[in-house]
Amino acid sequence: MRVLVSDIGGTNARFAMAELQRSAPLLHDSVREYPAADFAGAADAARHFLDELGERAEAAVFAVAGRVRFEEAQITNHPWQIRAPEIGAALGTPRVALINDFAAQAMAISRLRTDDVVAIGAAGWPGFDTRATQTYAVIGPGTGLGVGGLLVRNGRCFPLETEGGHAGFAPSQPRDLRTLECLMRRFGRVSCERLVSGPGLVNLYLSVCEVEGVAADALSPAQINTRAAAGDAHCQQAVDLFCTAFGSMAGDLVLTLGAWDGVFLAGGVVPKLLDALRTRGFREAFEAKGRFSPAMADVPSLAVVHACSGLLGAAAYAAETYEPAAIA
């Protein structure tokens, strides 16, 4: 019994197969990644994946970077519009589930091992325990900023689908106000993902240069990170702003959801900025919540370093959604 699982973002589309009978359903040797721009739509990319592997899917779970409504989703940072019936027709199965990509990241928490995460700060994670009542948050920068949560109740996992990355940015110190003013001149309303995302890091670098009155170079997020590590002062300021804004947003999410069991930092940017997150103010901003600072000090913040946590979560969702007997 094999299920197609997919994690579709604004830049890349990842696919894999899962076997629901296995205790670890995701088949890691089947993982493939394609540039989304190479295909007209998600159905074409999925069909290409199955043909490339010579596979057939009896069901599918698509985790997509956008709001899901009525079996449809529009990718927020890409022109693809995804419809479950079209996917089903392309794959030859009526069993197609569309979920938000950070619902999948939330479900991945139930399958992560302790060595799949790196603690940012002193508070560690004892590992997942389905027998306990738990509430987790998950937030992660990539092409945009994904936000979700996971409720564990009576032995079952319930992912929360949100678009929290589009909540408004809240400055917490004077330099944040200067950054906000720069971004407001460019965008009007400034959402969290205008700062904490791959493009957000570029926005922060441009804002630093504007405040300093210097000409900005045309740099990618990776180039900004590389220059920051080499000592470039403006790039270092941009990375500092990114890490503190990320920490503040992650802390706000814990307070909003009551996620006292931990917040997971997911997305493609996190592993690349791991050293910076450990040293450039993330945890300080995370804990700086006034009267709740002592409580925040006990909440783990955990960087996900699993290579394909979105697919892992989609496979976990498939295992909880599809009854093997009904698919066979």
Q: Is 247 annotated as a binding residue?
A: no
DSSP 258: T
Q: Is 8 annotated as a binding residue?
A: yes
Calpha distance 244→227 (Å, rounded): 19
Q: Is 9 annotated as a binding residue?
A: yes
Identify the sign of the CA torsion 10, 151, 194, 69: positive
Neighbours of 79 (CB within 10 A): 11
Q: In which residue are the tokens 């979700």 written?
A: 148
Q: Is 144 annotated as a binding residue?
A: no
Nearest to 109 by CA among 80, 146, 148: 148
Within the chain, strands assigned E span 2-8, 12-19, 26-35, 59-64, 68-69, 72-74, 81-83, 96-100, 117-119, 134-141, 145-153, 156-161, 263-265, 301-304
Q: Is 130 annotated as a binding residue?
A: no
236 in Cβ contact with 225 (< 8 Å): no
Distances (CA, A) of 29 to 6, 16, 26, 175, 254: 14, 8, 9, 46, 35
Calpha distance 301→265 (Å, rounded): 7
Q: Beta strand pairing status for 145-153 and 134-141?
A: antiparallel
Calpha distance 269→45 (Å, rounded): 24
Neighbours of 91 (CB within 10 A): 21
DSSP 168: B
112 in Cβ contact with 240 (< 8 Å): no
Q: Is 258 annotated as a binding residue?
A: no
Residues 94, 71, 12: CA angle, nearest 5 degrees: 95
What are the binding residues?
6-11
What are the binding residues for ATP?
6-11
